[in-house]
Amino acid sequence: MKTVIKTGKGFSKEVKYIVIDQDNKSCKIVPEELASKQKGQEIISFVKEKLKGYRIELVNPLPLELEIKFLWPQLLYEFKERFPYVNGWLERANLSINEQTLIIEVENRIAHKKLSEPEMLNYLQNRLYYYLEEELKVRIDNGDFLRDIPEVTPEITAKKLLKKEKSVKRQPEENNNIILGREITAKATHTLNQIESEEDGVIVEGQVFEMESFKTKKGGKLFLLDITDNTNSITVKFFINNQDNLKGSLKEGDWVRARGYVQYDQYSKGLTLMARDINTFKPPEKQDEAVEKRIELHLHTRMSAMDSVVDVEEAIKRAADWGHPAIAITDHGVVQAFPDAYQAGKKYGIKVIYGLEAYMVDDGKPIISDPGEGRLYETTFTVFDLETTGLKSNQDEIIEIGAIKVKEGEIIDEYSTFVNPGREIPPGITKITGITDEMVAEAPKIEDVIDDLIEFIGDSVLVAHNAGFDYSFLRAALQKTGKKEERYSLLDTLGLCRALYPELKNHKLNTISEYLGVELTNHHRAVDDARATAYILIKSLAFLKEREIVSLDEINRLTKKIDWKNLPLYHLIILAKNKAGLKDLYRLVSSSHLDHFYRKPRILKSELIFNRENLILGSACEAGQLYRSIVDNKSSREIEEIARFYDFLEIQPIANNRFTWLLSLNRKPFTKENICVII
């Protein structure tokens, strides 16, 4: 078995990855760019220490097309782990490169349709970027390899290819579950992921997800059924000479039990089940055996665009079958499922709770937190900016600090330093900031500079552009170094500029700097960004003075001036308590579509508060304000304040948020193989 592993700290600039062949006890090192032969020997010696008994080889840099083929077995393994229900189409595909596009030519229309789904394309592109550190597009082409079959020619493809013709009479004594051959009374001998070689007497079960039919030159028909049992998939193939040989009807979505022999198919280049007998069956339904039944308060139906294919009646029927007393319908931003839900609730004797997963805009978020009663021109401000190894304060580290002290409209002091993060700086961060590992190699660690920064801040008001981001890293640094977190007043110039300069299309630091005539020479360098933010603050304070806003606590009056279109969206669950609540819910939905629609129907938090008496509010998913505040490392005080807004807090299964790391370009899914060696 071959395993590809990315290198970590120490050799990431010289080595792209290593390929370990555990069967042949060999290891190939694929270089990035070696400074010298001596460096290459150092790497070989290091790997030999880690992989004793292995044959180590440093290969020459490969052309892109050859390198992709070199990586292809690992990519196939990861793809199969992520999408086990997909057939072995990628294993049989032809690969080529054209202008930074990987063209994957697959065998037939079914493979083309399935592999062209956005989730699969994105996954392949992300994994290619992970290994190659190069942006490649992926395109799936239909090579139609089956056109080479000598005995058959394409006829038709349809949802009910095996539908029995009306003129064909069925014998009353026949078993209606039999599609082909005889009844199968034995249990399945294999799950689909257990089929690895040619074998006779195989019985498998699976759900049909594609069907295709071909007419042979001799007048018969070849049928192809693609089935999956969610461990893997396989093509079930059978020939018939007469349509009367089919004893029943079959459609996509049906579960079938097939008996026959597995053989290597020379046309599809993979294992295929040649079926003698095919029966339909109903798989055992999952049961809720809990004594105290749960009530689902977060359910999307097919009315949630691009988020669900669930039929509302089927969902309500399942809840009733499981003995649930009630169920809530919470589609994204809409209420179109309510009429069908009402009818289904009456039909199956279950209470329907009418609700919504809304897109909320917090139009009351303060520009300055804990402002106190200080006067603007008597207050000392510390404007700061941090450069970091990434976006997550609980995982990433500070690499540069810049701070500028402002009082009475003048800059009075400055502080800046690099910080050694204790890890390599990702290439993407270096590209944005220009900060390299060499620049921070001799810099102090955060525990050596945190006291100096705290002393520099003193009792001043902290200021930053998009302050939540920088302050989350400052708080994390205080926590990591065991320092007490002071209760600072925090002014966000992003919110301030949104209120003062609504005419701007966006309020990025460089946009505002250009608008106000502030110099910003080295954007994304801490001290330069902090200095630009300081001058923006000075000009904005003068603007506030013209508006006769003279104290810190008066700044938050400006929140009503902020265009709601520029504010972030948060998900939340809204449930109607009663008929009055249902009316309020309709009012909010109407307003979100008619008055506050911008890309999505938005509900303003101020309107929600005004109408919440007969509503129940829940904190929703990872896109909810509470979840985001925890991820953004906000203070316990802020998190508690946000939590108090909700009537119930939603804790979802961990698997619901698996996508947050699966789709990340710089993170690799955890498997036994890719954590067995760490270099």
Would residue 524 show up in a list of annotated catalytic residues for this protein?
yes
Token digits of residue 297:
């308060």
**For residue 327, what is the DSSP state?**
E
Amino acid at 415: Y
Query: Which one is catalytic: 190, 332, 524, 596?
Result: 524
Asked if 238 contacts 165 with a C-beta cutoff of 8 angstroms, the reply is no
Strand partners, 414: 404
| CA–CA distance, 597 with 567 (Å, rounded to integer) | 13
- Stated length of the chain: 679
Amino acid at 89: W
- Identify the three-state secondary structure at position 202: strand
453 CB neighbour count, 10 Å cutoff? 21
Burial degree of 255 (CB within 10 A; 0-12, 13-18, 19+): middle
| CA–CA distance, 180 with 242 (Å, rounded to integer) | 12
Q: What angle do CA 571, 576, 578 make, to 5 degrees?
A: 170
| CA–CA distance, 654 with 665 (Å, rounded to integer) | 20
177 CB neighbour count, 10 Å cutoff? 16
- Identify the three-state secondary structure at position 417: strand
| CA–CA distance, 323 with 598 (Å, rounded to integer) | 41
Token digits of residue 14:
């010289």
Contacts of 171 (CB under 8 A, 6+ apart): none
Q: Cα torsion at 196, 201, 206, 211 (round to 10°)?
A: 90
| CA–CA distance, 12 with 344 (Å, rounded to integer) | 58
Q: Which residues are catalytic?
A: 524
